[in-house]
Structure 1
Amino acid sequence: MGLIKGNFSFMQFAVEGRLPQAFNTFIHNRIKGNAFREAQNAAEEKRMGWVSLTDILDADFENANYALGDYLIFSMRIDRKLVSPKLMKIRLMEEQKRFLAEHKQTRIGKAMNEGIKEKVKLALMAKNDPVPSFYDVLWAVGQNKVYFSSLSDKVADDFVDLFKKTFSLGLKRLLPQEHPLALANKTDVNAASDDLAFIGREFLTWLWFKSEERNGAIALSKTEEVELHLLKRIALEAGEGEYSQGVVCSGLHAELKEGKEAIRQGKKVKEAVIKL
């Protein structure tokens, strides 16, 4: 759905470049100069241009009905001629058969076949009416941002090209994860991850202590207990990031004296192989 009715699904762009001083006159001339016009060539595959948001048949913008305060609103119309792949296959086979019979040949060269294929495609497109599509545009001039009502990368590429051709301004797509709120949340998530890592190291260190306390037996309640051993490999670490220091101890059923010494020095268990 678009700007006027229903939900508005959109891509967001930042406008790159300096706006001209006589902005209103510039916009009026440029948007009319690149308004949608019907194709003159019946075999033209794609054609696009600007039309009024409130009246898709109005491509003249006589009353500057794209201006709404600090915002510019209009639509991009794209007409495409679509050819059914199955119909294309049938017509191509028919044309190839006719060509072989006419020239008394048994095969068609690659270059000639490409020419026949293009001829068939143009003939089919000339018979078809174009299929129009409309995409709404909201240009928040004061914010230097543009909102475009499509999530298709292919359509967005057409929009960026037409926008640059019309206004001599570039567009940079703004991804959701680059939004300031998303970046702030990402920082919060990273902080939460650091907290979880700290808790995890503390828990593993406590678990090793409890497993050594009663030869692997850890009480779950007054009547239940579980037997747990840390073996083969234990990684310990102290500090964060580039300032972290670690040690790895390994050995089947070994006393892991080096690891216990690391515990005394303040290191915590980061990774361990646990046997229940």
Structure 2
Amino acid sequence: MHFLKRSCSFTRFRVTGKFAFAREKYQEYLEKNAFRELSELKDAQESIGWVSPDNFLKPAEIDEIMLEPYFQLVMRVDRRKVGKALLSAHLAIEEKAALQSSGKNKLSLNQKRELRQSVHQFLLEKTSPSNAFYKALWNFKSGICYLFCTSRGVQNRFSKLFSETFPLQLEALTPWMLAVEWAQENNAKNILNNLTPTPFMKSKRIQRQGLEQQNVLDVE
């Protein structure tokens, strides 16, 4: 469990909507959105779905993931991608062979497009996918879900899969969202209107200026 580690990073969500648990129904939800191997999905470059928290190679079962008042969720993401350089190299070979067989000096745009799609699909099938697993802990009584990752892309994928699986929605509890809620509860909305953002990281332009100034000092 991530919370038992010395340190951990997570994104916190509020689960919105009416939670009405029915064991068979939620098992159907999980099965419908279970992870599928990319080899089963024609032309797909990415596959996302739920897997068992005890064995990432098995589909999620409601009896495994449920430990009242929690759901232990694991999202598996498999991706495969063909590099541009590799695609260009293979495409050049195939275009040369196509020109020789046709006796022409140039391929039409449609021929180039079809050849590119064919070569890309061939290489895609030969490419081993990358695997990533993201854990989450959903307290269905408090309506709070912790995703143990802070990547924006992973957050978006998780939110989409969650809402497609369950009849509920996720709302990210960002610092600004929490500030807005506090202001509403304490009748202090005007305070937020006067706030200005504080940069915690210098822009690249400012960093370059700082380096240039440092170089000048070093020369002097």
- Give the TM-score normalised by the residue count of structure 2: 0.71
Measured in 1, the distance between the counterparts of 2:163 and 2:71 equals 16
**Structure 1 range deviating more: 78-87 or 8-17:** 8-17
Structure 2 equivalent of residue 48 of structure 1: 48
- Tell me the CA shift for residue 4 of structure 1: 6.7
Structure 1 equivalent of residue 148 of structure 2: 149
**What per-residue deviation string (whole Å, max 9, x for no partner) do you get for residues 233-269 of structure 1?**
xxxxxxxxxxxxxxxxxxxxxxxxxxxxxxxxxxxxx
Secondary structure of the residue that 1:132 maps to in structure 2?
strand
Structure 2 equivalent of residue 159 of structure 1: 158
Structure 2 equivalent of residue 14 of structure 1: 14
Structure 2 equivalent of residue 61 of structure 1: 61
Measured in 2, the distance between the counterparts of 1:2 and 1:112 equals 52
Looking at secondary structure, tell me which structure has more helix per residue. Answer: 2
8 A Cα contact 1:42 1:126, kept in partner: no
Asked if residue 33 in structure 1 is aligned to residue 59 in structure 2, the reply is no
- Give the TM-score normalised by the residue count of structure 1: 0.58
Quickly say closer, same or farther: Cα 1:6–1:73, change in 2 above 3 A.
farther
Measured in 1, the distance between the counterparts of 2:54 and 2:166 equals 21
Q: Output the amino acid matched with 1:79.
A: D
| Runs of 5+ consecutive residues of structure 2 not aligned to the other structure | 196-220
| Runs of 5+ consecutive residues of structure 1 not aligned to the other structure | 195-276
Structure 1 equivalent of residue 98 of structure 2: 99
Measured in 2, the distance between the counterparts of 1:97 and 1:5 equals 57
Asked if residue 80 in structure 1 is aligned to residue 73 in structure 2, the reply is no
8 A Cα contact 1:74 1:137, kept in partner: yes
- Work out which of the two has the higher radius of gyration on C-alpha atoms and give 1 or 2: 1
Measured in 2, the distance between the counterparts of 1:119 and 1:4 equals 49
Q: How many residues align?
A: 189
Q: What CA RMSD, in Å, does the superposition of the two structures yield over aligned residues?
A: 3.1
Secondary structure of the residue that 2:64 maps to in structure 1?
coil
Looking at secondary structure, tell me which structure has more strand per residue. Answer: 1
Measured in 2, the distance between the counterparts of 1:3 and 1:115 equals 51
